[in-house]
């Protein structure tokens, strides 16, 4: 069983696998449409798009995600205490201090991004700073630093960009197939097969997007508890974030970026074990970006009981 400290290289490997799968998905879409309309140039365009977007998602995913969420760098003079909390925890974790960003949104939340610890950033919403005390804020910052140390964010941010690319490419190819006058290659059956593939591709991309295991949230929670030695801080923060998100969803979040945040920005995390019976709840848990907040809080509080024993 892997320990808390042996997962970084495994997550780097997952990133390359994820990029390869997205690459093949775009190529297959391009090949199907190029074969149907009889234009090999479409396949080469798909290859070029896949290569460019894979490279872009790896090198610039942090900048893309920060721009998508409207995050701005936090002024060190005005937010001195926030910078101090992040710096102290980074030193304790043996990491370089990540850049600190703010999202001007009253809904409390936070996320980390960046391809490695040297290029990492943590973004906090203004709503988070307004409702958490220092211990709770330290718990949130420690959770995000755990994602950075474990390289979870590399997988997550690459998935954000590539899932969006597949959806855009699929929509583009769908329009081309419908507009094509070439019906000689495969006839209506082939057209239906291509259309089904193009329609299902974004769904497959979304499932890959959610393939960043929900167990990583549990792992980051446990890492944060070890880092702060006060799991109750993060537990209280998660409770506040979850309640506030249900009442006021995060406006700057989208379904593409939702899984990056420490808790669901829409207040729709997976159903807890007690509520998971039934097919509908099972599907909801399958497509949820986050594990149940109740389960995460229970685990964190159990860590506190163990440490006091």
Residues acting as catalytic residues: 144
The β-bridge relationship of strands 72-73 and 121-125 is unpaired
| Opening angle at CA 137, ends 243 and 222, nearest 5 | 85
Nearest to 160 by CA among 58, 72, 284: 58
* End-to-end Cα spacing for the chain: 24
- Ramachandran quadrant class, 267 (left: phi over 0; alpha: psi -120 to 50; beta: rest): left
| 120 DSSP assignment | -
In the block, residue with structure tokens 């070439």: 182
Cα-based distances in Å from 9 to 37, 94, 150, 151, 218? 43, 17, 8, 8, 19
């Amino acid at each position: 069983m892997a320990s808390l400290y042996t997962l970084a290289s495994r997550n780097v490997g997952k990133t390359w696998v994820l990029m390869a799968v997205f690459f093949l998905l775009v190529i297959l879409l391009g090949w199907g449409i190029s074969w149907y309309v009889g234009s090999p140039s479409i396949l080469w365009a798909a290859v070029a798009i896949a290569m460019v977007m894979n490279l872009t998602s790896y090198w610039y995913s942090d900048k893309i995600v920060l721009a998508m969420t409207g995050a701005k760098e936090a002024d060190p003079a005005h937010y001195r205490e926030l910078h101090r909390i992040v710096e102290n925890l980074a030193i304790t974790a043996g990491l370089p201090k990540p850049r600190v960003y703010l999202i001007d949104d009253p809904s409390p939340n936070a996320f980390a991004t960046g391809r490695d610890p040297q290029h990492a950033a943590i973004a906090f919403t203004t709503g988070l700073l307004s409702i958490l005390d220092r211990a709770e804020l330290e718990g949130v910052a420690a959770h995000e630093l755990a994602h950075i140390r474990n390289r979870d964010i590399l997988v997550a941010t690459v998935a954000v960009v590539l899932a969006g690319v597949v959806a855009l490419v699929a929509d583009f190819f769908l329009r081309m197939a419908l507009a094509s006058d070439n019906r000689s290659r495969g006839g209506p059956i082939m057209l239906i097969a291509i259309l089904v593939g193009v329609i299902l591709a974004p769904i497959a991309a979304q499932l890959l997007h959610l393939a960043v295991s929900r167990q990583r949230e549990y792992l980051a929670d446990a890492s944060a508890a070890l880092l702060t030695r006060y799991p109750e801080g993060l537990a209280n923060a998660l409770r506040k974030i979850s309640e506030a998100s249900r009442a006021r969803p995060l406006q700057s979040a989208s379904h593409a970026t939702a899984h990056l945040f420490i808790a669901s920005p829409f207040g729709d995390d997976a159903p807890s074990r007690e509520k998971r019976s039934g097919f509908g709840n099972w599907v909801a848990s399958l497509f949820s970006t986050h594990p149940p907040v109740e389960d995460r809080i229970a685990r964190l509080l159990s860590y506190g009981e163990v440490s006091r024993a």
